[in-house]
Amino acid sequence: MATAIPIATGRSATGIPTGKLALWWVIGSEIVIFGGLLASYLMMRLMYDSWSDAASHTNTVAGAINTFILLTSSLFAVLAHNAAERGKGPLAAGYLVLTIGGGLSFLVVKAIEWTGEISHGFTITTNTFWSFYYTACGLHGLHVIGGMTCMGIIAYDAVRGKNLQRVEYIGLYWHFVDIVWIFLFPLIYIAK
């Protein structure tokens, strides 16, 4: 492919780097997607009291562990950003790998949790609460997987000291994924 990089990419009329600006808009559009899903969930939750019975079967401990894991991994993302700011690519990559490890453990805990629930007969078609549970957590899980994939690519670059600014962007995205979970956890696990 043509390798010429358009001048447009280098311009910054707002003073914010283009990549970061775009990332904020991505996060903005993601917020409305999750917002729509959670608003629907809340609306129906308030309509039907019976959902609290279904919700009492969720595994709060697993949820709490996952919250802790995600928060820790966010901390590593911050450390990675810090390292990248100082130009230490390999260190940043190391922290990113730790963050990916956090995401991975999150998914493992999630998998164990879901296995337990499915073996107890709570599948996505059981009732609307469980449909929301699997849809919302599944959508969030996809974002975790997507974030981890991007992070892997960025860590690969960062070891070679390339595109270090991206470490900050993926960190932002990871915080967003984290915050979505912070909303999901009380709404789905704690509210009984």
Partner 1 sequence: MATQGHAAAANGHDAHGHGDHHELSFLQKYIFPLDHKIIGMQYLFTGIFMGVIGALMSYAFRMQMAFPGKAVPLFGLITPEFYNSMVTNHGSIMIFWFAMPVLIAAFGNFLIPLMIGCDDMVFPRVNRLSYQIFLLSAVILIASMFVPGGGFGGAWTSYPPLSASAVYNQTPYGAPMWLLAVALEFVAFLLGGINFITTLMNARAPGMKMYDIPIVVWMIIIASILFMASVGPLIAGAVMLLFDQTIGTGFFDPVRGGDPVLWQHLFWFFGHPEVYVVLLPALGIVAEILPVFARKKLFAYKTILWTAIATGVLSFVVWAHHQFVAGIDPRMANIFTVTTLLISVPITEMLFVYIGTLYGGSILLTTPMLFAIAFIAEFLIGGVTGIFLGASGSDIYFHDTYFVLAHFHYTFVPIAVIAVFAGIYYWFPKMFGRFMNDFWGKVHFWGTAIPFNGIFLPLFYTGAAGDHRRSFDLLNFPELNQPNLIFARQFATISLLVMLAFQVIFFINFFYCMFRGRKAGANPWNANTLEWVAPSPPPHGNFAELPNCHRGPYEYSVPGRDSDYWPQNEPAT
CA-to-CA distance for 50 and 170, rounded, in angstroms?
A: 40
**In sequence order, which ranges of the chain are alpha helices (DSSP H)?**
18-47, 51-55, 60-85, 89-119, 128-159, 165-184
Q: Which residue from 78, 86, 95, 135 is in contact with partner 1, where contact means CB under 8 A?
A: 135
Encoded tokens for 66: 């996952």
Rounded least distance, CB 24 to partner 1, Å = 9
Phi, psi of 6 (to 5 degrees): -60, 150
CA-to-CA distance for 58 and 63, rounded, in angstroms?
A: 9
Residue 22 found at the interface with partner 1 (CB under 8 A): yes
Residue 31 found at the interface with partner 1 (CB under 8 A): yes
Residue 182 found at the interface with partner 1 (CB under 8 A): no
Encoded tokens for 23: 């990332």
Residue 163 found at the interface with partner 1 (CB under 8 A): no
Q: Which is nearer to partner 1, 24 or 91 (CB)?
A: 24
Residue 48 found at the interface with partner 1 (CB under 8 A): yes
Q: How far is CA 76 from the centre of its chain?
A: 14
C-alpha distances in Å from residue 155, one per residue of 82, 89, 147, 169, 183: 14, 8, 12, 12, 28
Q: How far is CA 138 from the centre of its chain?
A: 11
Q: Which is nearer to partner 1, 18 or 72 (CB)?
A: 18
Site string for partner 1, 50-89 (x = CB under 8 A): x---------------------------------------
Residue 145 found at the interface with partner 1 (CB under 8 A): no
Residue 2 found at the interface with partner 1 (CB under 8 A): yes
Residue 39 found at the interface with partner 1 (CB under 8 A): yes
Instruction: Give the interface with partner 1 as residue ranges (CB under 8 A).
Output: 1-9, 11-14, 16, 18, 21-22, 25-26, 28-37, 39-40, 43-44, 47-48, 50, 124-125, 127-129, 131-132, 135, 139
